[in-house]
Structures are given as C-alpha cells and as structure tokens.
C-alpha cells in the first residue's frame, strides 16, 4: 500500500530548478552569473544565487581556509564536500522545495575537475563522497564555461590577486579542464559547454537560448 510515508523526503520531487556554473579559473563564469539570474527574474522566477565552497556561514569559513591554506589532498576534498553538505541543507534544498531557482557558482563537478583532474585524487573517492552527500540531487543544468588555458591565464593575470588555486601551474588547469570536458561528454544532457572565447554579448545570446530550454 502506498502512503506519504513510503516516499523518502530525499527523493520527493523538488519544485524549483538548480543551475550550476563551472569552468577553470579565468574562464569567465562570474561575468555571466548575474546576467542569467536577471534573465530568470525577468521570467518571474525567484532566484537564489550562491557559491561553493561557501554559501553558508560555515561554508564561507571553510572557503577562507580552502583558498588560502595548503593541506592534504584528501582533506581538501573532504572540506569541499563538507561545505557542500551544509550548503545543501541550509540553502539549496530549502530553496528548491519552495519552488525557487538556485544558481550556484560551482558544485561537485568542480571537485572532480580540481581535486580529481587537477590534483590527481582518484575519481572513485569523489564518486563515494558524491554518493554520500547528494545521492539524489544533481543540477538540472550545468553551464561549463570553456576557454583555452592561455586565454584563462591572461584573464586571471589581468583582473585579480591570485588565490591558492589560481596560483597553480598550467598542468593543474590542463587536468581540470580535461576532466570538465570528460564529464560534459559523460553527462551530455546535464552539462552544456559554453565557448567562452567569444564576446560577452555573443556568450549572453548563447546563454539565453540554453536557459530558455528550461523555462
């Protein structure tokens, strides 16, 4: 017999939608988050913009440590997922349950790309953490901003003081980019690769077309 109690809360359908933004540092994702949020608001959606690591007081404290301090690779991966667990409990799941749209500047694909592709952590470790932390939830759409390494590096050097990850060498970013693109091929309906070498206006036009498929 079916009753409400037979459906675990974790797999109950969520009313809102979840979009993650990904890409190597300097790929340009931050430039476009506000644009996509405004596009959704113009369609009457309530939008929650957040980021990882971070998005909660505890997550932001973890971010401070993660972006500044050297640590064991597994510690780094565990803290990324600890921040994510808190972010899901405090922000993402309540927002989706209310019917809001969530935009997160990075989610688990970043752990596969950076700790996996960039630093060499075994993918099975990351898959185990993903299964633990969000077995039933994936973004409805992941926008993967992609540019060649030299373009990303030039943008970074021109625009900011570099954090721990941004100070890494080319081989790290090559590995991260390769893993992002591998995942895009593995999950082609979820992850859309956005060529971010184009002008901002051209990228915005492409984003509008992609996001409108979700509306």
Query: For binding to ligand TYD (CB under 6 A), which residues are involved?
Result: 25, 30, 52-53, 67, 80, 105-106, 110-111, 114-115, 163, 165-166
CA distance linking residue 115 with residue 124, whole number of Å = 12
Q: For residues 115 and 196, which CB has a smaller minimum distance to ligand TYD in the complex?
A: 115
CA distance linking residue 111 with residue 130, whole number of Å = 10
CA distance linking residue 194 with residue 23, whole number of Å = 9
Place of tokens 């113009």: 42
Hey, what are 75's tokens? 């510690």
Q: For residues 114 and 180, which CB has a smaller minimum distance to ligand TYD in the complex?
A: 114
Shortest spacing between CB 182 and ligand TYD, in angstroms: 16
- For 14, the 3-state DSSP assignment is coil
Q: For residues 25 and 100, which CB has a smaller minimum distance to ligand TYD in the complex?
A: 25
Within 8 A by CB and 6+ apart from 212, the residues are: none
Shortest spacing between CB 215 and ligand TYD, in angstroms: 26
Shortest spacing between CB 8 and ligand TYD, in angstroms: 26
Shortest spacing between CB 105 and ligand TYD, in angstroms: 5
Q: For residues 16 and 53, which CB has a smaller minimum distance to ligand TYD in the complex?
A: 53
């Amino acid at each position: 017999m079916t009753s409400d109690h037979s459906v675990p809360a974790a797999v109950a359908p969520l009313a809102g939608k979840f979009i993650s933004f990904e890409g190597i540092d300097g790929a340009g994702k931050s430039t476009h988050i506000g644009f996509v949020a405004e596009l959704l608001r113009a369609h009457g959606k309530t939008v929650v913009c957040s980021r990882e690591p971070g998005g909660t007081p505890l997550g932001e404290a973890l971010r401070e440590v993660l972006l500044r301090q050297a640590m064991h690779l597994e510690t780094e991966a565990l803290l990324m997922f600890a921040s994510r667990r808190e972010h899901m409990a405090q922000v993402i799941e309540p927002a989706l349950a209310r019917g809001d749209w969530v935009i997160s500047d990075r989610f688990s694909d970043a752990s596969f790309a950076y700790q996996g592709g960039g630093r060499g952590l075994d993918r099975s470790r990351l898959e185990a953490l993903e299964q633990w932390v969000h077995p039933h939830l994936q973004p409805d759409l992941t926008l993967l901003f992609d540019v060649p390494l030299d373009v990303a590096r030039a943008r970074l050097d021109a625009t900011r003081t570099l954090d721990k990850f941004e100070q890494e060498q080319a081989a790290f970013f090559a590995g991260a980019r390769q893993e992002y693109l591998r995942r895009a091929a593995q999950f082609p309906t979820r992850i859309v690769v956005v060529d971010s070498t184009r002008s901002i206006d051209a990228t915005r036009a492409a984003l509008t077309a992609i996001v409108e498929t979700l509306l």
